[in-house]
Amino acid sequence: MHRLTVIDSHTAGEPTRVVLDGFPDLGGGSLAQRRERFREDFDPWRSAIACEPRGSDTMVGALLQAPVDPACAAGVIFFNNVGYLGMCGHGMIGMTRTLAHLGRIVPGEHLIETPVGVVGVELHADGRVSIDNVESHRARTGVAVEVPDYGTVVGDVAWGGNWFFITSQSPVPLSLAHEPALTAYTKAIQRAIDAAGIGGDDGGVIDHIEINGAAPDGAGQARNFVLCPGGAYDRSPCGTGTSAKLACLAADGMLGEGERWVQQGILGSAFEGTYRKGDRGVLPRITGQAWLTGSAEILLEPDDPFVWGIRGVALRP
Ligand code: PYC
> pLDDT by residue (tens digit) across 81-135?
999 998 999 999 999 999 999 999 999 999 999 999 999 999 999 999 999 999 9
Percent of the chain with pLDDT over 70: 99
Check if the beta carbon of residue 257 is closer than 8 Å to that of residue 277. yes
Using a 6 Å cutoff on CB, does residue 60 contact ligand 1?
yes
C-beta separation of 237 from 263 below 8 A:
yes
CB-ligand 1 contact for 228 (6 Å cutoff)? yes
Q: Name residues whose C-beta falls within 8 Å of residue 202's C-beta, 6 or more positions apart in sequence.
A: none
DSSP 13: T
For the chain, the first-to-last Cα distance in angstroms comes to 32
- For 91, the enclosing helix (H) or strand (E) is helix 89-101
Please say if 238 is a catalytic residue: yes
Q: Ligand 1 pocket check: which of 228, 246, 266, 289 to mutate, most ligand atoms within 8 Å of Cβ?
A: 228
Whole-number pLDDT of residue 297: 98
Which of 51, 88, 228, 248 is labelled catalytic? Answer: 88
pTM: 0.96
Q: Given pLDDT bands bounded at 50, 70 and 90, which one contains residue 220?
A: confident
pLDDT at 249 (0 to 100)? 98
The answer, yes or no, to whether residue 275 has pLDDT greater than 70, is yes
DSSP annotation of 315 reads S
- Once rounded to an integer, what is the mean pLDDT over residues 148-161? 98
Given a contact cutoff of 8 angstroms between Cβ atoms, the answer to whether 85 and 162 are in contact is yes
Per-residue confidence (pLDDT) for residue 317, from 0 to 100: 55
Q: Hey, which of 114, 162, 164, 190 would you mutate to test ligand 1's pocket, going by the most ligand atoms within 8 Å of its Cβ?
A: 162
Q: Is 239 in the pocket of ligand 1 (CB under 6 A)?
A: yes
14 lines ligand 1 (CB under 6 A): yes
Mean pLDDT of the chain: 96
- What per-residue confidence (pLDDT) applies to 219? 87
Residue 314 has pLDDT above 80, yes or no: no
